Chains A and B, each alone.
Chain A
Amino acid sequence: MYKLRVNGLSAWFQNKQVLFDIHLEFPEKKVIAIIGPSGCGKTTFLRCLNRMHELTPGARVEGKVILDGKDIYSEMDAMEVRRKIGMVFQKPNPFPHMSIYDNVVAGLKLMGIRDRKILDGIVERKLKEVGLWDEVCNDLKRSGAQLSGGQQQRLCIARALATEPEVLLMDEPTSSLDPASSARVEALIRVLKNNTTIVIVTHNIQQAARISDFTAFIYNGKLIEYGETKEIFESPKDPLTEKYITGRFG
């Protein structure tokens, strides 16, 4: 059962093509890692999956991304897509003008949920899920920007999870975190995949091997190889993939 199917996806910045005809399928409730050297287009690829790419002025997409049988580009509204496909960014970006509480419920408020009891319940549940509850439960009114980097990123994950997205996109979520915080986020990802399909971009090959079920290797905007993580790492079919995962370039 495929949650998300990418069909002939190409993307451009102005006239510069950065993704070339990518075909991929993401199984439900699995972790899929996107790896590749810097500038290969992996972040752009991720941003095409929830229609964030088109927010960049001059950016353009062609092809289909099918979520549960519906093309997110032609059959769905961008806001609807982004509600179903959540995103966590490379740099933790909690809203500094909002409290921890308001950060978590920001997406719910956009959906029109204002019932205090419901919101309170979701805040507690989501903060517990990301392991932040014990650290912040006494000062939910504090600004989200006052937390440490690792805490901020977990707050952002809680914010993305609050609206119960079916797919969670993570763009190098641990690259700006210390090792201990990274480990916590990785542990969190393993738990989250019980309910959610997770697509994670990472430049950390070991991380991809540790946490993902499937791995896609992108190079110069082209999908070089895609398959079960075990296979990709143990017997890559393409010599480029082998070179990359053994650390000979990138």
Chain B
Amino acid sequence: MKNISKIIFLENFFKLILKIATLIIIVIFLLMFYSLFERSMPSLMENGFYILFGSSWDPNIKLFGGAPAILGTIISSAIAIAFAFPISLSIAIFYTEYCPLRVRPIISEIMNLLAAIPSVIYGIWGLWTISPIIKLNFQEPIIASIGFIPLFSGPAYGLSIFLASLILTIMITPIIASISMDIFLKTPILLKEAMFALGATKWEVLRHVVIPFARRGILAATILGLGRALGETMAVTMVIGNSYIWPFQSISLFSPATTITSKIASEFPESVIDLMHNSSLMSLALILLLFSISISFITKFIEKGVKYR
């Protein structure tokens, strides 16, 4: 016979541990938010909205405009999602509906491996291998043919917001694809068969059963990919060219640019001696954090709205 009071004590003790663990996470989040805010304050007070909308960044003359970095983050992530979304869905649909059973494990293993590769490796690969290839075989021919359109004008540097978007695409595709695969596989087989039994083709089953069912999950997977793209630092820093000319001096996608994360990563060491410089980088970090938070709020909002159909 076990001692009842001892069991109750253990039960309460266990509950307490769970509560503490949860509390720690909440406290860490609030502390992080607070300290970012506190460190951003000097710059926010001094520069105000210039940190959001200003186009120049020169610590020597105390100019801290974050717009190029903020836009760089938004645009590179947006392009990456625009590329990665259809590619990922195609992979997931092929995997669940058309791929022979024997090949499936190979594909899912490759997806997992790709998702697990450290970002610095993507960065090095993008910098040394992809950049010259893209420059020679993509950027130069395009600039030569439709370079009169400002969005595709020269010169071709290789390192550019376009290359960063491309590397981000490659990084987030396995994430979105592998989650989508799992979601597609969870479609109730009974419902797929019901649709087949009505004379539907594979495509019609996908359209009328699989995709309506997976909609929320695909949205969640895409948001996860977007989060990764927004926050990615190392790989982007290595391939984006870290230049402040985009988009105000050159709007071309082949122009080198920067993002919030690469700005912070590349300037943080030198900024520690300059309070305003440091605080301005912190403000950018705060903006990025607010981005991430609002994205997850928007997701919740959309998820509520998007029921089936």
Q: State the A residues within 8 Å of B (CB).
A: 50, 52, 55, 57-58, 79-80, 82-83, 86-87, 89, 91, 93-98, 106-107, 110-111, 156, 159-160, 163
Contacts and interface: CB of A to CB of B under 8 A. Distances in A.
Interface string B160-198: 000000000000000000000000000010110111111
Interface in B196-223: 196-201, 204, 208-209, 212-213
Given A82-B197, A97-B308, A159-B194, 8 more contacts: A52-B193, A55-B193, A83-B198, A89-B190, A89-B193, A89-B197, A160-B197, A163-B199
Contacts of A97: 212-213, 308-309
A95 B194 contact: yes
28 contacts: A50-B197, A52-B197, A79-B200, A79-B201, A80-B199, A82-B196, A87-B197, A89-B193, A89-B194, A89-B197, A91-B190, A93-B190, A93-B193, A95-B191, A95-B208, A96-B191, A97-B212, A97-B213, A97-B309, A98-B308, A98-B309, A110-B198, A111-B199, A156-B194, A160-B197, A160-B198, A163-B198, A163-B199
Contacts of A159: 194, 198
Interface of B: 101, 188, 190-191, 193-201, 204, 208-209, 212-213, 308-309
A221 to B, nearest CB: 22
A110 B199 contact: yes
Contacts of B201: 79
Given A57-B101, A96-B308, A97-B308, A107 B191 contact: no
Contacts of B198: 82-83, 86, 106-107, 110, 159-160, 163
Given A97-B212, A110-B204, A52 B194 contact: no
Contacts of A94: 194
A159 B196 CA distance: 13
Contacts of A52: 193, 196-197
Contacts of A96: 191, 308
Contacts of B195: 95, 106
A228 to B, nearest CB: 29
B196 A55 contact: yes
Going nearest first, the 3 A-B pairs with the smallest beta carbon separation are: A97-B308, A83-B199, A107-B198
A169 B110 CA distance: 42
A56 to B, nearest CB: 9
Nearest to B212: A97
Most chain A CB within 10 A, of B188, B197, B199, is at B197
A37 B196 CA distance: 27
A249 to B, nearest CB: 30
Most chain B CB within 10 A, of A57, A87, A97, A107, is at A97
Nearest to A51: B196
A164 to B, nearest CB: 12
A106 B101 CA distance: 30
A110 B193 contact: no
B88 to A, nearest CB: 22
Nearest to A95: B191
A97 B193 CA distance: 15
Contacts of B194: 89, 93-95, 156, 159
A91 B194 CA distance: 11
A56 B212 CA distance: 22
